[in-house]
Amino acid sequence: MPLIDSFQRKIEYLRFSVIDQCNIRCQYCMPPEQKLWEKQPNLLTFDEICRMVTILASLGVRRVRITGGEPLVRKGVPDLIRRLNDVSDLDEVLLTTNGIPLPTLARPLRDAGLEKINIHLDTLSAEKFCKITYGGDIRKVLTGIEESQRVGLQPIKLNAVLQKGINDDEVEDLLRFTANHGLILRLIEMMPIGPGRELMPSLYMPVRLIREKLAEKYTLSPTNPHLGGGPAVYYRVKELNTVIGFISPVSEPFCGTCNRIRISSDGRFQDCLAFDGTFSFRDLLRNPLMTDERIAAKVHWLLSGKAESHDDFQQAADIRTPCMTGIGG
């Protein structure tokens, strides 16, 4: 039976976090003092992840995105990608990364069958990058992008979280950078999750304001709404011969067309970013008597509780406490 929730939304997209650790600390995502990671035995093993994805694919999930924390901090992710590419009924296996490990891992990932990749980069300034990531080295990300292109990953989408007073003056530079390098820029609104909650009042701005500003200078025309099959709304920028995507979970929520579920690195099922996932599949997956059919039935049961919307994201997000790192964005 396909995965359709109580509001007739068909679930086809799964984001799977494989680790809650990261090699940098973006100020809105991971508190600098955070040192409490899931212990290795609590993380789902690759066998458990593959089993869970196989069950979900049999229920209609068609695309899975591996995420984190920083997914490439976990050893063996290329092997996981290779195994997931063999899951029948799955159309696409995707990856989201901060790009830092890509100088060495782009090649093995491509060899494992990865085709497309999303790389997260909020600024082109080395100092700003170092400051907002608490010590990150932008050169590794830039080399990672180069290497991803060299090995043929395509398309490469560059995800930037819009931060008022930090990178809102840099969007045009980012757009020129992506245009010159054949990448696709996507601007994401900051969400009241993790440290983002405290930073929202000072750093949040709706992506619409940037779209309006760009439209004063460039010819923007709506384009290919299905470029990614996700929530981004894309515009062609005629003069730069490129495309930019805007993702506005806070100012213009896209709950009505939500087609996704998430599983955290410790196996928790999460049907909406704004609400905490409390049920973990880990124990079921580790119970030798548990059949795939019973796990599938549990997925259906959990999905029946998926909320229609997070009308007030701030209020919804206040109910929960964990950071984005275990959930995977």
Selection from 25, 91, 27, 104 nearest residue 53 by Cα: 91
28 binds ligand SAM (CB under 6 A): yes
Q: What is the three-class DSSP state of 295?
A: helix
Torsion of Cα atoms, 259 then 263 then 264 then 270, to 10°: 60
The binder of 117, among ligand SF4, ligand SAM, none, by C-beta within 5 to 8 A per type, is: none
Between strands 117-120 and 92-97, the pairing is parallel
The binder of 328, among ligand SAM, ligand SF4, none, by C-beta within 5 to 8 A per type, is: ligand SAM
Smallest separation (angstroms) from ligand SAM to the CB of 298:
26
Selection from 236, 222, 285, 216 nearest residue 56 by Cα: 285
The binder of 136, among ligand SF4, ligand SAM, none, by C-beta within 5 to 8 A per type, is: none
Smallest separation (angstroms) from ligand SF4 to the CB of 138:
12
The binder of 272, among ligand SF4, ligand SAM, none, by C-beta within 5 to 8 A per type, is: none
Smallest separation (angstroms) from ligand SAM to the CB of 328:
5
Selection from 102, 268, 237, 250 nearest residue 174 by Cα: 237
Angle at 233 (CA atoms; ends 229, 236), nearest 5 degrees:
110
3-state helix, strand, coil in the chain (%, to 5): 40, 15, 45
**54 vs 98, which CB is nearer to ligand SAM?**
98
Environment class of residue 34 by beta-carbon count within 10 Å: exposed (0-12), middle (13-18) or buried (19+)? Answer: middle
**25 vs 268, which CB is nearer to ligand SF4?**
25
Query: In this structure, what DSSP letter does residue 271 have?
Result: S
Binding track, positions 142-181, relative to ligand SAM; x by CB under 6 A = -----------------x-x--------------------
- What Cα–Cα distance (Å) separates residue 87 from each residue in 84, 92, 213, 274? 5, 10, 44, 29
Q: Among 101, 136, 245, 328, which residue interacts with ligand SAM (rule: CB under 6 A)?
A: 328
Smallest separation (angstroms) from ligand SAM to the CB of 187:
11
**233 vs 324, which CB is nearer to ligand SAM?**
324
106 binds ligand SAM (CB under 6 A): no
Binding site for ligand SAM (CB under 6 A): 22, 28-29, 67-68, 70, 96-98, 120, 159, 161, 188, 190-191, 193-194, 196, 324-325, 328-329
